[in-house]
Structure 1
Amino acid sequence: MIQLLVVDDHVVVRSGLIALLDGKNDIHIVGDAADGDEAIAKAQELKPDVVLMDFSMPPGKDGLTATAELKKLMPDVSILILTMHDDEEYLFRAIHAGASGYILKSAPHEELLAAIRSVAEGSAYLYPSATKRLMSEYLDKAKQENAGPYDTLSEREKEILSWIAKGYANKEIAEHLVISVKTVESHKSNLMEKLGLRTRPELVKFAMKKGLLNFE
């Protein structure tokens, strides 16, 4: 039986959640609270397995502050953040505070039940679009960490690198790309610095390795 503490500053919302959840065979509502301070006190007194914590509870202590403090006092308690904010900033803040899960108030009842059961078992829970968002950010970060110097160049810098390596002068490159000579020189300086190259022979050798000397 999952011992659940419901925390929300709106009486109607709390009552609705209690009515929805307390009738389930595997969930027992041990209590409820209206703000972060009350949630911390009730949690220490009632020892719930899971705290369903509202994100925003003005003017009382907010859910994230309460989550961080409660995790220090009761490391084993699982806290599921319930919020209307579908925003990655709030999501990351919740995870950083120590929450085991993050679910939207607009989620279907079945999803809320699944989330409570998931965090009660010690697993993490994020609503589907949040999981996709986190994975995307993780993959982007991994890609950046594994990227070589060439991958840090902008498309324009890569284009100018190719022209320089083929032996074209700055003025010729500027005319072809319809940009100023000064702009070409600026891009050249930046790309040379990013690649750690100092001379034209080094640049040509690098361009050959990257297959940038196709004159077609």
Structure 2
Amino acid sequence: MLVDDQELLRAGFRMVLDAQPDIEVVAEAGDGVTALEVLKDTEVDVVLMDVRMPRMDGVEATRLIEGAKVLILTTFDLDEYVFAAVKAGAAGFLLKDVPPADLVNAIRLVHAGDAAMSPRTLRRMLETFAAQLPNEEPTAADDLTPREREVLLMVARGLSNGEIAARLAVAEATVKTHLGRVLAKLGLRDRVQVVVYAYEAGLVVPSHRPKG
């Protein structure tokens, strides 16, 4: 589903996606209110969601969407609205000038349950907007084993499974197993949520905080 108040942009995305044999655009909407109405009667796997729209923005719409995975569209990669949308449950974000191949790949990644966002990019966003993080600390991390906690911290710092495996001198499959247990124990969906969780819990301290 394409959700953007710019009809021309939706048409461009539709043209790219309709050319893919495994992707079908089943609905469009020009704002969050309309998107939620359409979703009541339309089965959607992935939503491409603009952030700044009339009536209801993409952050609030993302928070209210159930079932479908949300990919945020943004003009700037460091955008406080995108940060809020990720916290609201978005599976990642794309720049509006994304190359067609990257757009298609991101949709496939999100549909498969992965995150279409570099943990390093998310970490940079979190450090920029760290003042918006809540003060309360989740406590579920206490249930993690020392190795699981170690993997969580490395993911939060933006390391890939391969990089983590190299640092721990274990197989990459072992890292995937540990990460799977971390996700299950903390009730998290993907690496994006792991990074957000680590910052909210105070497990990773931002390198800087905005002035003011």
The interval holding the TM-score normalised by the smaller chain is 0.5 to 0.7
Q: Which has the higher contact order (CA 8 A, sep 6+)?
A: 2
TM-score with structure 2 setting the length: 0.57
TM-score with structure 1 setting the length: 0.56
Q: Secondary structure at the match of 1:123?
A: coil
Q: Give the Cα–Cα distance (whole angstroms) in 1 for the partners of residues 87 and 119 of structure 2.
A: 19
Q: Offset at 1:60? A: 2.2
More helix by share: 1
1:169-188 aligned at under 5 Å gives the runs none
1:17 aligns with 2:13: yes
Q: 1:38 aligns with which of 25, 34, 39?
A: 34
Q: Offset at 1:94? A: 1.4
Q: 1:67 aligns with which of 52, 62, 69?
A: 62
Greater radius of gyration (CA): 1
Q: Offset at 1:127? A: 5.1
Question: Contact conserved, 1:83 with 1:103, CA < 8 A, in 2?
Answer: yes
Question: Contact conserved, 1:101 with 1:125, CA < 8 A, in 2?
Answer: yes
Q: Percent identity at matched positions?
A: 38
Letter in 2 for 1:40: L
Q: Offset at 1:124? A: 1.3
More strand by share: 1
1:120-159 aligned at under 5 Å gives the runs 120-126=111-117, 130-131=121-122, 133=124, 138-139=156-157, 142=203, 144=205
1:91 aligns with 2:82: yes
Question: Contact conserved, 2:74 with 2:82, CA < 8 A, in 1?
Answer: no
Question: Contact conserved, 1:53 with 1:82, CA < 8 A, in 2?
Answer: yes
Cα-Cα RMSD: 2.5
Distance 1:54 1:144, change over 3 A: closer
How many pairs are equivalent?
Answer: 136
Q: 1:56 aligns with which of 41, 52, 57?
A: 52
Question: Contact conserved, 1:88 with 1:130, CA < 8 A, in 2?
Answer: no
Q: 2:43 aligns with which of 40, 43, 47?
A: 47
Letter in 1 for 2:102: E
Question: Contact conserved, 2:17 with 2:25, CA < 8 A, in 1?
Answer: yes
